[in-house]
Amino acid sequence: MRGERGPGEICEVNAQNETVNSHTIAVLVDNEPGVLARVIGLFSGRGYNIESLTVAKTDNVNNMSRITIVTTGTPMIIEQIKAQLSRLVPIHNVKDLTIESASVERELALVKVVGEGEKRVESLRIADIFRARVVDSSNESFVFEIVGDTGKLDAFIRLMEPLGLADVSRTGVVAISRGVKAMDVAY
């Protein structure tokens, strides 16, 4: 599933000796029923990967949602994914944040760790280093909230494993370009 490396880095090389990269793609869509099914159907129907997908309404005036998709593929496949997405009628704008501009990416995770004694103290210590917050605690458990890029979350979760990692819920990646330029609605 989730790659250990950050987006944009070379993940692997396929059988045809082409490099397979991870890309973060932002998509502005009409907020209407079925639109998410169209996007997901396109990925499953054509055999593309979805590493992560997030969606929420972001524009009340135009009633639009923003989808952030992290996907992997050769440059030719990534180009296809973008062209295929752009072709869908309720999709207004497609932006490849990995290559079109510098961008900021964040993910949030809630991590439940169950344990007692020394392990419990150790988990708190690590959480502190990672700036994870305790959002729930009982005598035998913590729920940590951690925000960061995918790599940071992966690292934190890995460290929690021997300390009683019980449950993880992640939002998936959201991303936005750096600088003044915004993503327009493109009518």
Partner 1 sequence: MVSKELTGSEIVLKALEEQGVTEIFGYPGGAVLPIYDAIFNQNQIRHILVRQEGGAVHAAEGYARSTGKVGIVLVTSGPGATNAVTGLTDALMDSIPIICLTGQVPTHLIGNDAFQEADTTGITRPCTKHNYLVKDVNDLARVMHEAFHVATSGRPGPVLIDLPKDVLMAVGTYKPKSKIKVRNYNPSVKGDLNAIKHAVETIAKAKKPLIYAGGGVINSGPAASKLLTQFVKMTGAPCTLTLMGLGAFPASNKQFIGMLGMHGTYEANLAMHDCDVMVCIGARFDDRVTGRLDAFSPGSTKIHVDIDPSSINKNVRVDIPIIGDVGHVLEDMIKVWKGTQAKIDAKALKAWWQEMNAWRSVDCLKFKQEGKVIKPQHALTRLWELCREAKKEPYVTTEVGQHQMWAAQYLGFEKPNQWMTSGGLGTMGYGLPAAMGVQVAHPKELVVCVAGEASYLMNVQELSTISQYRLPVKSFILNNFYLGMVRQWQELLHGQRYSESYMNSLPDFVKLAETFNMVGLRATKPSELDDVIKEMIKIDKPVIADIHVDQMENVFPMIPSGAAHNEMLLGPEDETEKPISEEGMVLV
Residues that bind partner 1 (CB under 8 A): 30, 33-34, 37-38, 41, 45, 76, 79-80, 83-84, 86-92, 186-187
CB of 43 to partner 1, least distance (A): 12
- Token pair in block for residue 154: 């992966």
Nearer to partner 1, 76 or 104 (CB): 76
CB of 80 to partner 1, least distance (A): 6
Nearer to partner 1, 75 or 162 (CB): 75
Nearer to partner 1, 89 or 129 (CB): 89
Q: Which residues contact 147 (CB under 8 A, 6 or more apart)?
A: 106, 107, 108, 131
* DSSP codes, 24-36: EEEEEEE--TTHH
- Token pair in block for residue 87: 């072709």
Question: What distance in Å separates the CA atoms of residue 93 and residue 32, rounded to the nearest whole number?
Answer: 16
CB of 14 to partner 1, least distance (A): 14
Q: What is the 3-state secondary structure (H, E, C) of 96-115?
A: ECCCCCCEEEEEEEEEEEEC
- Token pair in block for residue 167: 């449950």
Nearer to partner 1, 54 or 93 (CB): 93
Query: Residue 12 forms beta bridges with which residues?
Result: 20
CB of 88 to partner 1, least distance (A): 8
Nearer to partner 1, 32 or 136 (CB): 32
CB of 96 to partner 1, least distance (A): 14
